[in-house]
Structure 1
Amino acid sequence: MRVVVTVWVVVMAVCTGSKVKLVNNGYDGIEGSEHLFRATRRRAFFRHVKLLIPQSWNNTDYDHPATVQTYQESEIRVDLQHHPYYNQPYTKQPGKCGSPGLHIHLTPDYLTEEKYQSWWGKPGKSLVPLWAKLRWGVFDELGYPNDPIYPSFYYLANEEKFGDKNLSYAPSYCANAEITGFMRKKNTIKGVGKWECVKGKDNLPEQDCRFFADKVQAANSSLLSYPFISSDSVVEFCDETTHLRNVPNKQNVMCRGQSVWKVMLQHDDFKNANPARDAPPEDPVITVIKGVYPSYAVVMDYSNSMRSKNRIGTLQRSVRRWLLYTVPTNSFVSLIRFSSGPAILLTPLTKITDMQSRRNLASKIDKNISGGNKNIFLITDGEDDYDDPESFIDDLLQANICVMTVALGKEADSRLESLSDKTGCKSYVVNDNDQTRMMNSAFEATLVRMPVSAAYSLNTKFYESSKYKTTNLTVGNSFKVDKTIGRNMVFHLETDKIDHVIGTPSLIDPQGNVGEWRWEVQLDGDKSHWVQAFVTSHLRDSSTQPITVTPWTSAPITGVNAAATNVILFAEVTHGSNPIVGAQVRGTIDHPDDGHAAPNVYILKDDGKFADSVKNDGIYSAYMTNFSVTSRYGYRAEVVKNEAFQSGNTMEQQHPLNPEDYLDWSCATCMPTSSPNPTVTNFTREGSAGSFKVESTIRNNKGTSIKLTWTAPGDDMDQGTVSNYQFQMSTNREDLSEAHFDPASPETLLPVFIQDLEDANVLIESGNNVTFNIMSNKQLEFEQVYFVGLRAVDDSDNESEVSNIVQFTFEQKLPFSQSNLKVIQHLRDAIQRNQHK
């Protein structure tokens, strides 16, 4: 078997000439494919490259319109500069070792200007390490200035040698031979003035020291250390024979000392002894496609089982709302219903042109229940017999049709997720007693299928209240309008009974369009009926960059074993393509029961700790730790804090002319925020990630209870009460060291809710003894030595240093099911001594 990759490249640059040359400088896929073939030891190459160009490019030839390809799902994006990276190519990868990245980001300036390529390497060659990060989940093997975890220089062991130089340290990299070069202070010229590096208090070069590699090298690896070296010799990845596992770089920390090549060999692309190919690879086939407005076939289940729990009412109401207010103008919609007999075409493909065309379509869904589209929206409870989706999946793939599925109720067919996954779409779940607007969120998620150029014309919902079922005669709330929206703003009020609402709603503006609005409505006091409000708007003008929230999870929609694999909740908050930091982001998980259980709420953080990989990159994360049953879970995220920063604002004004300046902004653990005041205010946003299935849960797994005892530290030294604790366990003591405690593998994390600590009376005043039984969801191995450590967190998120490390061994003579491992040792001294507030 050999690896053959299809790449989607989305071009978002502005077209200013009469013609646009789309393929050049190695990103025609040919040169990049040759470099990839060589770097993977003749195993992988690009077979097909699809270039998706904007809908607005009218003077560029293309092969055919886009079908399922969208900007949001592309692997390589040519887009505006991303601050703070500016014109540096990079891969966005918030996941852990071996997890695929999100996409590769390139700028038009990098692809067209020689000076940027001289800094960051020719595009054909630089694509290889970028692609390795994206597809195989590996990381950089170089250091960064001012990075506490991945420094620019490190101490050499006694047996190591940095060339023939008499040094006790070396630049952080991985190679099979010395990378030759010179060191000098930042922004100085070699040989002029005080350019030589000096040592700091730690006997390593000070932070203003940089290492500059020579253009010609004898080494042939590693592409993850210095991919921009022009030397033809540096063409491979480090393997186990050349890997330097003691260098404190991101690859070593994230992948626990494994080489890049070893991590790659664990991927499906290289499993089963993927053999090297004798013949050179064929040139990639390049297809240019153009973005278009999507077509939707809404397929609605009208079978008898849909009578139960008013599923048909939920379906009709949500489809009507989507047609009237959400689906964008210029889209095409077809409505189809099915039951026990043949499917019925209610309307053929109809173009959405105005409100009358929307009303005409909406009127077609109000039916009594009886026994080339590019997107199919299938809504069903899946309880009645119908054809196996596998029987027609090949036809769907051949026609390039995306199938989004909505499972109504917990008994819906388990094959729905597989149908969505194989056609490249999301799947959604809706409880029978929907408490969190799950159906409406599923319909609103169809907007990701729109061309990016259509953002100005999208009617986006930015606020939605909960459902009010109350005897109160007056209900109301407030919503925030930020500076990016407000054009054609419409307030909507829904109810299940018209007479339930008395009069018309009242709106109070904040003395202008921007700010906090207040709404109120008078009701008849009948608690059996409900009202719900939502507000939609267009972007304020055509030059406005939208604020968006894009959630997703690390779990595949087709199923995850939560007892063995950590599930991470993600949400990216952006203003245009630039990250927004400092926001408060809340993730909501809907239980897969009958809907009566309250959803679980998680606070997602962008602090570079535990589930989060990089601080201030606008990607907020948290581990999901509560699994009630094995079934479907729905996930959505929302921004609930109204003041935040756009990352790296001063970078836009600096426009540095030297690549060494970029290295200060390309920190592996943290992106900079330089604005002293919030730059994005008074905004709320939300987004839906769809659903995923859990096949096994932590609750059903035989875990191990570990009893920990310590003396409580204080919120401020030995005074007060701490706000939280962080726990980790590993078979490697080094994982729990101060340097590795934060970025340690998620497998070492012992996840605990604040509620768990409060229920166990762990958060008590300084000086009191604490005993806490913490669960490890893994079966422990007999005679294996394990290490446990913790640290305290105060109410300002300041953290103590790591406690003293406790070790224990599980003896085989004890019955596993009755084991109660006791790790009884006071951690008081280390915690109180090492607190740093």
Structure 2
Amino acid sequence: CCLSVPFIFLTVLLLVYLSGSTFGIKLTGNGYTDILIAINPEVPEDPVLITQIEEMFKEASRHLLNATKKHLYFKEVAILVPPNWNKGNYSKAKTEVYDKANIIIDEPNKLHGDQPYTLQYGECGSEGRYIHLTPDFMLNDDVSKYYGPRGKVFVHEWAHLRWGVFDEYNEEKPFYLSGSIIEATRCTINITGKYIHKRDQRDCTTDPVTGLYTEDCVFYPDKQQTTSASIMYNQGLSVKEFCTKETHNTEAPNIQNRLCGNRGVEEVITSLSVDAGVAVVPTPPSILPTFTVVQCRQRVVCLVLDVSGSMAGSRMLNLRQAATLFIQKIVEDQAYIGIVQFTATATIREPLTLIDGEASRDKLVGSLPLSAGGGTDICAGVKKDGAIGDAIILLTDGESSINCQKRVNESGATVHTITLGPKANIDVKELSDISGGKYHNAADGVDSNDLVDIFTSHTTSDGNLTKQTIQLESTGLNMIGWFNGSVSIDRTIGNKTSFLVIYERSPPDILVLSPFTRTYDTSHFKHDAPAKTLTLDIEGTAETGQWKYSLLNKESTAQSMSMTVTSRAVSDAIPPVMVKTHMSQQSSNGSKPMLVYAEVNQKGVPVILADVMATLKSDSGDQYQLQLLDNGAGADAFRNDGIYSSYFTELTTGKYSLKVKVHNNDGMARFSLRRHSGALYIPGYVVNGQVVMNPPKPPVSEDDLQADVGSFTRTVIGESFSVLLPPGVPPPNFPPNKITDLNAEIEEDKVLLTWTAPGEDMDQGTATAYEIRFSEDSDLLRSNFSTAHLVTYDLSPKKAGSPEKLSFTLFSIIKNGTTLFFAAKAEDKSFLKSETSNIIQVTKIVPKAPVPSPTDAPDTSGSGVNITAIVISVTTVTMVACLIASVTMCSIKSRRVNHA
């Protein structure tokens, strides 16, 4: 967001004081503060919407207090309205920006409709990214009533966002067997209701093969319950608490049990979440939150650039190249840009200047510093009048101490810090931490292209995706001869497409070939000899398809070159495919592995089956490449949700950069129907003994989504991160990852266990062995795994991420209704074992033979033969059984195994 304009000078240059704490939601006493809710620019201006937001938070604060046993409530909330709202008298936004919002109000997307949901990346106990609400949910009671009271719905979503817990219902597995009793997937087990056919309200019938109710059966809960839990199952009931360790239903086949090791929500909050161990203080007399409504208009950015002696030579050139791209291609029209340089003192090179055409951009580029010399004092600008925006991009390669955080507590600026080279003081990152800015570390050299990537990432962040510059390609090489590559322009982008070539010494020959064979050569590029750049701007909308490029180094010795391709949305009506990436932690001491995430979607609709590669590079020159997967195993929590993940385990001390490239050159990528964690759409209630049905939830089919995404290319960077291992301690050795997708099928008399192979170190490499056990008591598998019956040994694990299959032939007679439980661990070469997997329930069902009607001819082929079935669900039940199993390992060429 921005400071009000027009203005030229302000008396402050740099830095923010925000009470010295990390930016984001805070828990002050019992009350949550610094909560930011942002409204998307597509939402029409409506003062009633702001009123409804405030009423929802007031109601939610009361519900939260009850749900947390009088411990927690909402204290301070900021509402960020979009820049195109002009009817209200809104305060000026400071550090509030759309991309940092905890709650987003936006128009419904094709996947979720008006369903409230929370974007979660997976780890139990880890904070989510944001809560998504729609204007209709907030304003239309006929929409919100299908989810329950808004305040209680918000508490349900807050639990996802803040504490990293998951839903206790399961629309894919609505029922399970608890012994011989069919139960609805819910928490607590004491939730009462009726099982009714949704079409004609008859009593439900049982599928003779599965032993469960048929697909058209629905559990309708009593609206008034005698039990007090749980909000994470159905927020529309009279329940008011979360499931505790004592009341949690460990049997239910829901995501909470699968990902949180069968722990209850309250147990996760108090032991695993960001609020675990927080001291409880007396609740104040009032728990009603206070609100501020703020707005940003034009973006105002000040470039604060280090020109000390160590920046001389290639570093100064790299700075000019990256800053030129930022000014010419990234910053949107009507933004304000200022430039300040500093050594031991600070100098204003250009005051805040309105971007209103090419002339203003050229003037700013001409004001970029040309030479370097002197010492480094990052805080020098605080002592001098200067120009400042709502955002500062601070670049330095120096080791100056940082002692000016509290100089300008009224500035309200967001500081984005860039450290260049291995000697830059990482303490400068603190300025970003306390102001909500980004931190990046850049390596030297043209071929790294780091500075260009960083400046490209500082695009507008008001929620309007069609205004953002999207980086498609970023690659560099120290080379002799030809340098060839390709980039795909998909149908969601194509406006303001630009090819930027940066070279080290002499300009190369260039060829760019469009999909329809139009050729652009060096003569079509604009050459900036002092900056050593060549730029090709494609007029109009770029052709859709694969563009090929070739660079020829005409020198006889190697020189570094790079190619950067950027574009924007093809129109305001078509949101582009976007990619975001980040690490699970911004710093690590090696005590636990880090996770790499990349989110690929088109306005909330996941893009799956893409090729996603992450490059992590340390300031010592070490480079690691990881393939990120969306397979629901290893680091990845949910299959086909558009969030690609991997563990990073090779931790050594240093600063690291993160870069992700996403391709769909083979055309395999598709949009997915997989929804994120969200509030349950309530099918109906039982009121005074009668079922009151709601209309069916609006379905989403493949026809509603354009199945073929088409070929596309994206390149993004995440914030840099650091690793600091204890002195003298060797790099950590991690066990295999927990198996979370253990599953089973049945073919005749064989039970087939399937899962995804873990690695030697989490999901990297190949594990050494598996240990699979079973028990008649699921609690035994969770609490004392090694004492359960051993099923297999001497199995040879496959490479991490590979599908595994195990076949059991049952010889002994198992009584009808018998339930057994299976779980697994993996072991590495250092004898480190993974956590116990999710627990699989196996129940034997022998359905009754069908009774022939009087008109049916007798069936002499064996009508009395029993049919055996095994029903699988990730649950826990207590039953007694005997099993004698012979185990064979099968190679997995299909999901089914051919019986002998």
Is residue 403–residue 425 contact of structure 1 (8 Å, CA) maintained in 2? Answer: yes
In structure 2, C-alpha distance between the alignment counterparts of 1:665 and 1:292, rounded to whole Å: 37
Matched, 1:552 2:582: yes
Is 1:38–2:66 an aligned residue pair?
yes
- 1:320–1:212 distance in 2 versus 1, CA, 3 Å: same
- The residue number in structure 2 matching 1:81 is 108
Correspondence for 1:414 among 404, 418, 426: 426
Alpha-carbon offset, residue 44 of structure 1? 1.5
Determine the structure 2 residue equivalent to 1:813: none
Distance 2:397 2:754 in 1: 43
Q: Does 1:363 align with 2:366?
A: yes
1:342 partnered with 2:345: yes
SS in 2 for 1:549: strand
Q: CA RMSD in A?
A: 4.1
The answer to whether 1:12 aligns with 2:28 is: no
- 1:427 and 1:480, CA in 2 relative to 1: closer, same or farther beyond 3 A? same
* Matching residue of 2:890: 832
**What number of residue pairs does the alignment pair up?**
729
Q: Please give the alpha-carbon distance, in whole angstroms, between the structure 2 residues aligned to 1:134 and 1:100.
A: 5
What do the CA deviations read for 1:34-53 (whole angstroms, capped 9, x no partner)? 21122122222112221112
- Give the whole-Å Cα distance in 2 for the aligned partners of 1:612 and 1:554: 12
Superposition deviation, residue 551 in structure 1: 0.4
Kindly report which structure 2 residues correspond to 1:648-687, keeping only aligned pairs within 5 A, or say none. 648=673, 678-687=707-716
Does the CA contact (< 8 Å) of 2:755 and 2:803 recur in 1?
no
Match of 1:615 in 2: 639
Question: Structure 1 length normalisation: TM-score?
Answer: 0.78
**1:719 paired residue number:** none
Question: Highest CA radius of gyration, 1 or 2?
Answer: 2
Match of 1:430 among 424, 442, 446: 442
Distance 2:110 2:260 in 1: 27
**1:640 aligns to what?**
663
Q: CA deviation at 1:698?
A: 13
Secondary structure of 1:533 counterpart? strand
- Shift of the 304–658 alpha-carbon distance from structure 1 to 2, 3 Å rule, reads same
In the alignment, does 2:221 pair up with 1:213?
A: yes
- Contact 1:791–1:801 (CA under 8 A) maintained in structure 2: no
User: Any residues of structure 2 matched to 1:148-227 within 5 Å, and which?
Assistant: 151-156=173-178, 168-175=181-188, 178-185=190-197, 187-191=198-202, 196-227=204-235
Deviation track 1:185-220 (CA, whole Å, cap 9, x = no partner) reads 3x41314xxx52323423222343221112111111
1:494-643 mapped onto 2 (5 Å cutoff): 494-497=502-505, 499-502=506-509, 505-510=511-516, 513-555=543-585, 557=586, 559-562=587-590, 564-593=591-620, 595=621, 597=622, 599-627=623-651, 629-642=652-665, 643=667
2:847 is matched with none
- What are structure 2's unaligned runs of at least 5 residues? 1-28, 375-387, 518-541, 685-692, 746-751, 771-783, 809-821, 835-884, 896-900
**SS in structure 2 of the partner of residue 615 of structure 1:** coil
Distance apart, 1:102 and its partner CA: 0.7
> C-alpha separation between the residues in 1 aligned to 2:123 and 2:701?
22
Equivalent residue letter for 2:641: D
Determine which structure has greater relative contact order: mean sequence separation of CA pairs < 8 Å that are 6+ residues apart, divided by chain length.
Answer: 2
Q: Is the 8 A contact 1:496 1:529 kept in 2?
A: yes
Q: Which runs of 5+ in 1 are unaligned?
A: 146-150, 158-166, 707-726, 763-769, 773-782, 811-817
Q: Does structure 2 retain, via aligned residues, the 8 Å contact 1:293–1:450? A: no
Q: Distance in 2 between matches of 1:806 and 1:613?
A: 18
Contact 1:97-1:137 at 8 Å conserved across structures: yes
Provide, for residues 638-658 of structure 1, a one-character-per-residue CA deviation record: whole Å limited to 9, x for no partner. Answer: 21224322223999xxxx996
Query: What is the TM-score of this pair, normalised by structure 2?
Result: 0.73
Of stretches 87-96 and 484-493 in structure 1, the one that deviates more from structure 2 is 484-493
Question: Does the alignment pair 1:244 with 2:253?
Answer: no
CA distances 1:746-790 after superposition (whole Å, capped 9, x unpaired):
9x9743677x55xxxx9xxxxxxx999xxxxxxxxxx99599987
1:337–1:346: 8 Å Cα contact kept in structure 2? yes
3-state DSSP of counterpart to 2:316 = helix
Aligned with 1:260 (options 265, 271, 278): 265
Q: How far apart are the structure 2 equivalents of 1:171 and 1:822?
A: 34
SS at match of 2:486: strand
2:147 to 100, 120, 124: 120
Q: Secondary structure, in 3 states, of the residue corresponding to 2:145?
A: helix
Q: State the shift of 1:549 in Å.
A: 0.6
1:68 aligns with 2:72: no
1:549–1:687 CA contact under 8 A, matched in 2: yes
**Cα distance, 1:17 vs structure 2:** 6.8
Contact 2:478/2:558 (CA < 8 Å) preserved in 1?
no
Distance, in Å, in 1 between the alignment partners of 2:248 and 2:306 is 57
Instruction: Tell me whether 1:488 sits opposite 2:496 in the alignment.
Output: yes
Give the Cα separation in 1 of the matches to 2:39 and 2:548. 42
Q: Does 1:99 align with 2:111?
A: no
Task: State the match for 2:323 in structure 1.
Answer: 319
- 1:689 aligned to 2:702? no
Paired residues of 1:25 and 1:123 also in contact (CA < 8 A): no
Question: Cα gap change, 1:561/1:738 in structure 2, threshold over 3 Å: closer, same or farther?
Answer: farther
In 2, the alpha carbon distance for the partners of 1:200 and 1:462 equals 54
Q: Decide whether aligned partners of structure 1 residues 822 and 636 sit closer, same or farther in structure 2, where only a CA change above 3 A counts.
A: closer
Instruction: Report the secondary structure of 1:203's partner residue.
Output: coil
- Per-residue CA shift, 1:374-406, capped at 9, x if unaligned? 1111111233x34x2xx3324566432211111
C-alpha distance in 1 between matches for 2:804 and 2:334 = 53
Match of 1:300 among 299, 305, 315: 305
Per-residue deviation, 1:272: 4.3
Q: Can you list the C-alpha shifts for 1:691-748, whole angstroms capped at 9, x where unaligned?
A: 0111229995486799xxxxxxxxxxxxxxxxxxxx5579xxx99786999999x9x9
Overall identity of the aligned pairs, in %: 24
Decide which moves more: 401-410 or 310-319.
310-319
| Equivalent residue letter for 1:72 | D
Q: Structure 1 pair 547/201, CA: closer, same or farther in 2 (3 Å)?
A: same
Rounded to whole Å, the distance in 2 between the matches of 1:696 and 1:795 is 26
Aligned equivalents of 2:367, 2:472: Cα separation in 1: 28
State the alpha-carbon separation in 1 of the partners of residues 708 and 289 from structure 2.
44
Query: CA shift at 1:312, angstroms?
Result: 2.7
Q: In structure 2, what is the Cα distance between the partners aligned to 1:153 and 1:71? A: 40
**Post-superposition offset of 1:334:** 1.6
Query: Residue by residue, what CA displacement relative to the aligned partner does 1:399-451 show, whole Å, maximum 9, x if unpaired?
Result: 3221111121222213122221221122111123464422111111211x532
User: Aligned partner of 2:34: which letter?
Assistant: T
Indicate how the Cα distance of structure 1 residues 400 and 28 shifts in structure 2: closer, same or farther if over 3 A, else same.
farther
How far residue 304 of structure 1 moved from its aligned partner, in angstroms, is: 2.5
Is the 2:446–2:504 contact (alpha carbons within 8 Å) kept by the matching residues of 1?
no
Give the structure 2 partner of residue 160 of structure 1: none
- Report whether the alignment pairs 1:380 with 2:396: yes
- Please give the alpha-carbon distance, in whole angstroms, between the structure 2 residues aligned to 1:821 and 1:533: 44
Closer, same or farther: CA 686–737 of 1 in aligned 2, 3 Å: same
Report the CA distance between 1:347 and its aligned residue: 1.5
Which of 260, 263, 277 lines up with 2:283 in the alignment? 277
State the match for 2:50 in structure 1: 22
